[in-house]
Structure 1
């Protein structure tokens, strides 16, 4: 029985060590919504903004 307790403590310590060395880890679960997209979503904004003047130019003709 004591071997199980010691094994659990060693496993838990190893898991916590690996998690702490992992960097920015989000343990919040699944994300739904616009705030879950992060920087990748912001990168698509200039592309859509650049496309808008092109459509305005064709409408001005």
Structure 2
């Protein structure tokens, strides 16, 4: 049981290290619902015909 706990702590630490030092724009803060997180909307096209 202790070995499993130690292995979990090591893997979790390595994952956090790689996420924070990766150099990319990776957010570990959860879901972001701000306007900056979405691409601009495409312009509306003509309505679809039936």
Once superposed, which parts of structure 1, at least 4 consecutive aligned residues long, lie more than 2 Å away?
26-31
CA RMSD of aligned residues (A): 2.8
Higher relative CO (Cα under 8 Å, sequence separation at least 6) belongs to: 2
TM-score normalised according to structure 1 size:
0.44
1:12 equivalent to 2:20? Answer: no
Which segments of 5 or more consecutive residues in structure 2 lack a partner in the other structure?
42-50
TM-score normalised according to structure 2 size:
0.52
Which of the two has greater helix per residue?
Answer: 1
State the aligned residue count. 38
Larger radius of gyration: 1
